[in-house]
Every structure is written in C-alpha cells, then in structure tokens.
Structure 1
C-alpha cells in the first residue's frame, strides 16, 4: 500500500515520489534519501506528496502513477527517492510559474543507467531514451525529475497504462522499476507533448544505487553555492552587448538589494518609468547641463529595466502580465523621452513648419520606425509560436513506444542567407556584431544618451532613423529568410 499522503495548502502541484528501489532507504545526514526528498519538497510549491513504495513491480508503479494523474488538479511532479540534488535544481523545474510540462536535464552527456540520453532543441526535449529506446545525436541527459502540466495529465495517465501493459508482457525488454520515470518521459515526447528542458547548469542532480555513491553525491553538493547560481542565472544569457557587458556584470548586486527590500519586479518597473519621465523633463529644458542630466537618468532607467527582469527571474515571480507591463513600459519610456528631447530642442525658438528645423517630424518619424520594428518582431514571434502549436497538433504524429530507435535527426542547416546567418552565429565576434546591428533597447538608450548629451535632439533622431532603418531592413530580410528557408 502507498504510504500516507502529506497535504499542504496554498500551492497547486502534487508530487509523486517513487521509492521503488532499495536506494530510497540509503542513509544520509537527514535520515534516509526518501526523508531528504520529502524535506526538499516542503520548500517547493507542492500541495500533496504521494509516495509509491517498493514491491509492486514496474507495471504496478506505472498504474499507480496513472491513477494519481487522473485524480489530480494542477501540475504533477514525478521524482525518484534515490535522487540527490540541490534544492535549487528542483526549483528550476518546479518553481517555474507556468507549471507546464518539463524535465530536469543536464548538458553533461555522460550516459548511464541512471542518466538516460535526451536530445534538446530550442529548449525542448525532442527525443528521450531508456534502456530500450535509443537517442541518436543525444546532447544532454535526463536527471530523473519530470513535471507534467495539468493539460497533459490525461496523456500521462494513458501513457502510464500503456507502458504498464507493455512492461508486464515483456515487450519492452528487461526494463526495471528504476526506469519508470525515464519511460514516462519517452512516452510524453513520442506522443508530441511539448516538454520544456529545465537545465541544471552548475547544479547537481544524480541518482544513486549504493551508500558510497550517495555519500559522494551529498559531498559534491557543498561544492556549489546555490544562492550564487540562482543569482547568476537570473541574468539573461542572450541579452544585448551593452546590457551584457556594461549592466549585467554588476546589476545582480541591485537585484540582491531589491529582493532584500522586498521590492516586486513591477515595483522596479514603476521606478524605472518614473526615472525615465524625470529624464524627459530634464531633456525638455534644452540646456547642455539639462541634456547631460537627462542622459544620465535615461541610462539609470535602463539599468532598472534590466533589474526588474532579473529580479523576476531571481524570485521566480515573472508572469505574463508582468512581461506585458514591462514591454509596454519600455515603449512608454522611450517615446516620452522623444517628446522631452523635441521640447528641449524647440524651447526658445520660433516654431516653423513641423517645429524648429522640423524637429517634431523627426520625433514622429522615429516613433513610427520603432513601432514598425516592434510590430515586425512581435508579429514574427507570434507567428512562430502559432506554427509550433500547429506543428505539435498536426505535423508530429505520435510514435509507438515499441520502436527501440529514435530515427529523428537534427535540422540540416539552411542554405543562402539563413545558412550564412547560422554560420556567423557560431563565431563570438560576429554573434555580438549581429546583436548590435539590430539596435536593441540597450544600444538605443546609449545612442540617445550619448548624442543628446554631446550634441542635440536633431542629431539623436537622425542617428535613430539611420541606424534604426538599417536594423529594420536587416531584421525584415532575416525574418523572410527564416520563414521561407
């Protein structure tokens, strides 16, 4: 019989701990490995914990998972009791606010009985293996923790029942209870369920079979500072050049301070907006000193704009609403600064056609150009997201669990413009050059601040139109090449 279920209030996930191997009873400082896992789950957003004990066999274990999946609401997390992992590693998967389907993986490709191979593409698990299922061109390993979103629980239950039948009849070969979660991951991937790849990075998550291995795994945990890893991973790995090298190299200190003060990401966004408005006010004065002060405030506003996203990732409080508010705030801040610059340039001068030297036409043209660029970017991302949904629903038929080999292959590089772009992406210098060319928000803020402080608003708008226009054409050609390649 399963051990008693532990109930916790105020959270939306359930955990199923498979204590189906003798290693679950191995000793550690906190009792047994099973006790250690239960203690870690107390710190996770888990409502109730179901423990599946040893003795039922693989088929019975899988049917138990199916039964739990059919009665649960919210996400269900499956993990083995013989797992020794950083609590932060579990949080990478379980504290993601989307509560969707995902698997804990490592870029370490050392495959073993407790480290089945997987293949990752675009942060998704596209192929998963077991002792029966082969993964050609594997580029990561699965670390035993699988979260299934509420929308996929029905699929999980059906897969678990099918696998139980195949295991009981011997059609999966000599698989054992130790592979239960590995097999479920295989089934989800082959059924077309999108599975997020939650990378553990420098953190550790290893399953063990013997006391010596358990002792070594526990010792290795102390080699990594979990708090520092969490703070480091709050910084985006694919940000722009200026944000990466001139802001994110020190902004984690501000993130730590903001978290200590109890500030929310939306509060930091509000402060950033306020600073940008002050920048626009200084720009509107039109004097050299005011232009310099406005430029400094604009750069501070951008730093805070980086901090709000990093704080959201650090505290794992990012939401779709917060992302929308952040994006809208970016547009508001940029355009209110355009207005301030135009007002400052026009102050004290006679208004001619379109303002002094046509400055308001320059300002409106810059706004229109940036609006077109953002529309191009977001509409393309939306189209890609829709295509992925269609592909998951139509273009990727379910594959039989009795196929021992995964015959899929990595995408073949495209030819022409897209192929050239992909080759350039592999080189560090050209990759950063491509990031600068598209004039992301960090580079735009620097361009505005420097030209406004050293020259005037007309120079600023001219630079924005020239560089922004080139960036628009570059992005347009790239989107067309990716869409037709």
Structure 2
C-alpha cells in the first residue's frame, strides 16, 4: 500500500518500492529505507510515495500503476533495497529533460539483481529479467527507472498488464524483487525511447542480506562523487578530435566557469564571437590571417565543447540552450566559409564554398529528419500502438540485419570504433580540417577537402539510415 511524503514543489514524483525484506536492513542512517528516503529528500522531487508489501508482485505493480495514473510530471520508480551514491540518483532526477530513462552500468556483469540490457546510441533497445533474455547485452540495469510525462500512461497500462501476467503465472520464475526490472522491459518493448544513463564509476547495487549491504555501503566511500560529477560532465562518446585535443584540457575550465557563475548560453555567445573573429581574419587572405583564424576557430570550438560540459556539470541546460547551441554551430561554420572565400578572392572559389554549405546542409537534414522520424514513431508506438513485442516472449527473437550485426562487432574494437566516429566528419573533425588546411594551404584546399570527406560521410550516413529504417 502506498504512503505519501511531500517534499517540495517540483514536478518529479518518486515511487519507492519497500516491498522486500532487504529494505529493513540496518545501516548508519537506520535502515536502507531510511537511508534512501534521506537521499531523495536532498533531491528536487515533489513527493515520495512508498509501496509496502501486500499481495505479491501483482499488487506491487498495481500500486505503481495507481500512483502513476494520478501523477503530474515525471515519475521515478526504484526499490528501497538499493545502495547507491546520491549523485547516481541525481543523474536521472536532476536531469532537466525529465524524460524516460534508466540507470545502467556498462560493466555488463549481469546477475539476479542487475538484469542485462543492450544499449545502442545512448538508448536501451532491449531489457531483461529472469524471464526475458537479452542477446548481445552490453550493460546492466541498476534499479532506477524514470518515466517522462509522455510515457506515464504507457507505464500505468504496462504495470497492470504485467500484474495480470504475474498473477496468472505466465511470467515463469519472476519474483517481487523484479518489479522495476519488468517495468523497464515493458517500456522498451512498447517502443518508448528510454535514455541509458550511465553511472560510470559510481555505485548503485541492490542487496539481499546484511553482509552484502555492509559491503555495498563500504564501496561508496571509495568514490569521490564531486570528481565523478566533473568527469561525467565531459562526454564519453564524443568524436576523436574533441576527446583528445579539446576535452582533455577544457575539463579544467568547468569548475572555474561555474564559480564565475557563467551560464552555458554565455559561453555559447563567446564561442560565436570568436568564430566571427576567425572569419574576419580568414577574409584578410594573408598567411598570418589564416593562422590567426585557425587559432580562433579552435578556441571557438573549445568553448563550444565547454558550454555543454558546463551545462551538464551545473545541470542547467535547456531545450532553448540546445537549440541555440545547434544553430550557433551552423552560423559559425558558414561564417567561416564566407570569410575563407573572401580571403581567397576570385569568382571561382564561390561555387566550392556554396557546394560545401549545401553538402553540410544536406548532411544535417539526413540526421535531423531521421531523428525526428524515430521520435515520432516511438511516440506513436508508445501512445496508441500495440507493444512492439509481446511481454510473453522470453528471448529476443528478432534478428538484426547482417550489416548491423557487423557494426556491433566493430563497435567493440577501439580502432574501428574511432574510425566509425571519424568517417562521419563530426564538427570536431570538420573544425580541425578547416583549421589545418586553411593555415597550411588555402581556402581551395579547405573546400575540396570538405567536399571529398563530406561526400563520403554523407553516403555512409545515408546507407546507415536506410539499413536501420529497414530493420
């Protein structure tokens, strides 16, 4: 049965499943239930509703469904037998998007309290339980699930459907400890876009006995949460140039920027200013002007990375900021193209500059139109459509195309993974290409390089979108 504890006026609610004996295990804060309640009190949540034992797995799931149907805003579901860093919980709860997501660890050592999942492109595409299998799993679910407002109705429906299946014994060996695991399985199979939030070096472990609880609590002290927050503000799946030539030192600017109370949008504005200055220097057409322009362009890209890192560190990013960041990237790049063309002089350079702009616009259209189509399909599937797969299928019976299976194998190899990232010519590689070719040669070489590499990247992207769409 649910009990309600009001916290504050934010829009996120928490359903705390205190349905296993382990939640009464002792710790320095009293019990594990007391401990996690204190952690949630320190986070921006509106209320915490505790589901207590009373009827088994089916009753627990129906309790979740009842609470979810009356919720306004995102709902976080987690078990009270979870021993986790507060920072790990904050990765979901404090994320400004308040979207659907789940905490995962990429150690992939699956077990009874850490079911396997498969993560692709930052999303959970397959999730498991003791009944549902996950071929090619590459991560484990760590017990914390958040449903965004758009998925609340689906979550409630799935909870009731799962409760009925559990009561009738159709889910085989599942037990009450798997309530949140089953909800994740249901959302993924219903087509919801579930963001995979990696805990990195943080810990989030469910426990079953006092010794396991004591061990898990001891492990928490081995991790510096403040340092992890800084580390996780830097993308771990960025491009090669951004990872090794920018983020390797821009990370040291994050805390000073936060102490100066700089906003991500302010940093974006300075980045735009530096790029426009780079375009002015490029337009001079001299060797010194091209060198100065290349340096300013590099610094502009550094700040372009820093604004996202600062946003993740302070958790102040917003849809407006994301849109402004994306638009500024286009503005800066095209301004540099114009500056280079002016600096080179002559009418024959402008067709190359315009061609480079058009190619880049087409590549962005490929990305954004595909992303929009996937989002729309997921929204329709989660809201009106039937689940993408039956909840009674124990294994992932679908077989990915051979091209995708090959891509997954290549992803496991470090060299091929970096080559895959570089071949699509992301903004970091484009910035490096422009800076190096402009400083070392001239604008004609820059535009020809952009057209050749960009053309290969466009064909690669198009082929990938077609294959994934066909799947």
Compute the TM-score of the two structures, normalised by the length of structure 1. 0.85
2:367 alignment counterpart: 377
Unpaired segments ≥5 residues, structure 2? none
1:445 alignment counterpart: 431
Structure 1 stretch displaced more, 322-331 or 92-101: 92-101
Give the Cα–Cα distance (whole angstroms) in 1 for the partners of residues 361 and 101 of structure 2: 35
Q: Is the CA contact (8 Å cut-off) linking 1:127 and 1:189 kept in structure 2?
A: yes
Superposition deviation, residue 297 in structure 1: 0.8
Q: Is the CA contact (8 Å cut-off) linking 2:381 and 2:388 kept in structure 1?
A: no
CA separation of 1:267/1:27 partners in 2, compared to 1, >3 Å: closer, same or farther? Answer: same
Q: Is the CA contact (8 Å cut-off) linking 2:154 and 2:383 kept in structure 1?
A: no
Superposition deviation, residue 388 in structure 1: 4.8
2:48 alignment counterpart: 49
Q: Is the CA contact (8 Å cut-off) linking 2:108 and 2:138 kept in structure 1?
A: yes
2:142 alignment counterpart: 143
What are the Cα deviations for residues 148-174 of structure 1, in whole angstroms up to 9, with x where unaligned? 222332333333344445555656567
Give the Cα–Cα distance (whole angstroms) in 2 for the partners of residues 448 and 314 of structure 1: 30
Give the Cα–Cα distance (whole angstroms) in 1 for the partners of residues 464 and 175 of structure 2: 49
Structure 2 residue corresponding to 1:368, chosen from 358, 367, 381: 358
Larger Rg: 1
Number of residue-to-residue matches in the alignment: 471
1:350 alignment counterpart: none
CA separation of 1:276/1:140 partners in 2, compared to 1, >3 Å: closer, same or farther? Answer: closer
What are the Cα deviations for residues 227-278 of structure 1, in whole angstroms up to 9, with x where unaligned? 2223222233332221121112121112222222222221111110011111
Q: Is the CA contact (8 Å cut-off) linking 2:278 and 2:293 kept in structure 1?
A: yes
CA separation of 1:258/1:69 partners in 2, compared to 1, >3 Å: closer, same or farther? Answer: same
Give the Cα–Cα distance (whole angstroms) in 2 for the partners of residues 87 and 393 of structure 1: 32
Q: Is the CA contact (8 Å cut-off) linking 1:136 and 1:409 kept in structure 2?
A: no
Give the Cα–Cα distance (whole angstroms) in 1 for the partners of residues 462 and 440 of structure 2: 32
Give the Cα–Cα distance (whole angstroms) in 2 for the partners of residues 133 and 460 of structure 1: 52
CA separation of 1:125/1:406 partners in 2, compared to 1, >3 Å: closer, same or farther? Answer: farther
Q: Is the CA contact (8 Å cut-off) linking 1:34 and 1:81 kept in structure 2?
A: yes
Q: Is the CA contact (8 Å cut-off) linking 1:136 and 1:408 kept in structure 2?
A: yes
Structure 1 residue corresponding to 2:441, chosen from 455, 458, 461: 455
Compute the TM-score of the two structures, normalised by the length of structure 2. 0.87
Superposition deviation, residue 4 in structure 1: 4.7
Q: Is the CA contact (8 Å cut-off) linking 1:413 and 1:422 kept in structure 2?
A: no
1:269 alignment counterpart: 268
1:344 alignment counterpart: 343
Superposition deviation, residue 97 in structure 1: 2.7
Give the Cα–Cα distance (whole angstroms) in 2 for the partners of residues 482 and 132 of structure 1: 27
Give the Cα–Cα distance (whole angstroms) in 2 for the partners of residues 138 and 179 of structure 1: 18
Q: Is the CA contact (8 Å cut-off) linking 2:381 and 2:387 kept in structure 1?
A: no
Give the Cα–Cα distance (whole angstroms) in 2 for the partners of residues 423 and 63 of structure 1: 40
CA separation of 1:306/1:410 partners in 2, compared to 1, >3 Å: closer, same or farther? Answer: farther
Q: Is the CA contact (8 Å cut-off) linking 1:286 and 1:344 kept in structure 2?
A: yes
Matches within 5 A, 1:81-96: 81-96=80-95
Give the Cα–Cα distance (whole angstroms) in 2 for the partners of residues 295 and 376 of structure 1: 28
Q: Secondary structure at the match of 2:46?
A: strand
Structure 1 stretch displaced more, 175-184 or 40-49: 175-184
2:228 alignment counterpart: 229
Q: Secondary structure at the match of 2:242?
A: helix
What are the Cα deviations for residues 29-62 of structure 1, in whole angstroms up to 9, with x where unaligned? 2232122111211232311111223455444433
Q: Is the CA contact (8 Å cut-off) linking 2:23 and 2:81 kept in structure 1?
A: yes
Superposition deviation, residue 101 in structure 1: 2.5
Superposition deviation, residue 127 in structure 1: 4.2
1:325 alignment counterpart: 324
Give the Cα–Cα distance (whole angstroms) in 2 for the partners of residues 481 and 167 of structure 1: 37
Structure 1 stretch displaced more, 39-48 or 183-192: 183-192
Q: Is the CA contact (8 Å cut-off) linking 2:430 and 2:450 kept in structure 1?
A: yes
Q: Is 1:73 aligned to 2:72, yes or no?
A: yes
2:250 alignment counterpart: 251
Q: Is the CA contact (8 Å cut-off) linking 2:7 and 2:41 kept in structure 1?
A: no
Give the Cα–Cα distance (whole angstroms) in 2 for the partners of residues 2 and 475 of structure 1: 49
Q: For the aligned residues, what is the CA RMSD?
A: 3.1
Structure 1 stretch displaced more, 363-372 or 322-331: 363-372
Give the Cα–Cα distance (whole angstroms) in 1 for the partners of residues 436 and 118 of structure 2: 45
1:309 alignment counterpart: 308
CA separation of 1:265/1:180 partners in 2, compared to 1, >3 Å: closer, same or farther? Answer: same
